[in-house]
Chain A
Amino acid sequence: GAGVSQSPSNKVTEKGKDVELRCDPISGHTALYWYRQRLGQGLEFLIYFQGNSAPDKSGLPSDRFSAERTGESVSTLTIQRTQQEDSAVYLCASSHQTTDTQYFGPGTRLTVL
């Protein structure tokens, strides 16, 4: 595709529910990244994939957060038993290699009521 796409663009959920966020990277990009951005703040690294494996999961805030990637393409970020502090914009980026520029999608705005 022309750029990184993410869905849904907005998600409102109730506390305690599970949510899945999807990222479609730029075609051919082997590296994929997830970040979280709280209101008025910078981006926090969550996890990155090289191919389908995740060498660095150090940014995941808790065991309620998980991510997977299949076919060296689509990735899903799952948040189980959502809490209000999970409310943020979740951004996905991809790059050709891990040393290359990261290109971002528009993000998914998650609101936990």
Chain B
Amino acid sequence: GESVGLHLPTLSVQEGDNSIINCAYSNSASDYFIWYKQESGKGPQFIIDIRSNMDKRQGQRVTVLLNKTVKHLSLQIAATQPGDSAVYFCAETGDTGTASKLTFGTGTRLQVTL
């Protein structure tokens, strides 16, 4: 079936450096993608989203890039801080064309070292 996966299960970066978390998706019909951050013992927290008619979207310290040609999504975090340590999930809508059913990747753990 369709799936969303991540290239790196764990990413370790130094405080102040930029972080890049990657995600590959397989469903070319997906038109909505979201990045979530999950801290230990908490539910996922929305970070940023992007629709398939865009290739880049920026938020506060975060940027999401979408490459539909190779079905690749990335999350860039600028000036990574200790509070950014968490598991990051990408999610896609699948073939429903709406956000009603999200398919999540397995997650990447970001560790920020001092």
Contact = CB atoms under 8 A, between A and B. Distances in A.
Query: A and B from one assembly?
Result: yes
B43 interface: yes
Interface size class of A (residues with CB under 8 A): 20 to 34
Given A35-B102, A40-B107, 14 more contacts: A33-B100, A40-B106, A42-B104, A43-B91, A43-B102, A43-B104, A45-B102, A45-B103, A48-B100, A56-B101, A99-B32, A99-B98, A101-B46, A103-B46
Interface of A: 4, 31, 33, 35, 40-45, 48, 50, 55-56, 58-59, 91, 93, 95, 98-107
A44 B101 CA distance: 10
Interface in B80-114: 89, 91, 96, 98-107
Contact of B107 (A33, A42, A99, A107): A42
B34 interface: yes
A42 B100 contact: no
Contacts of B28: none
Contacts of A58: 101
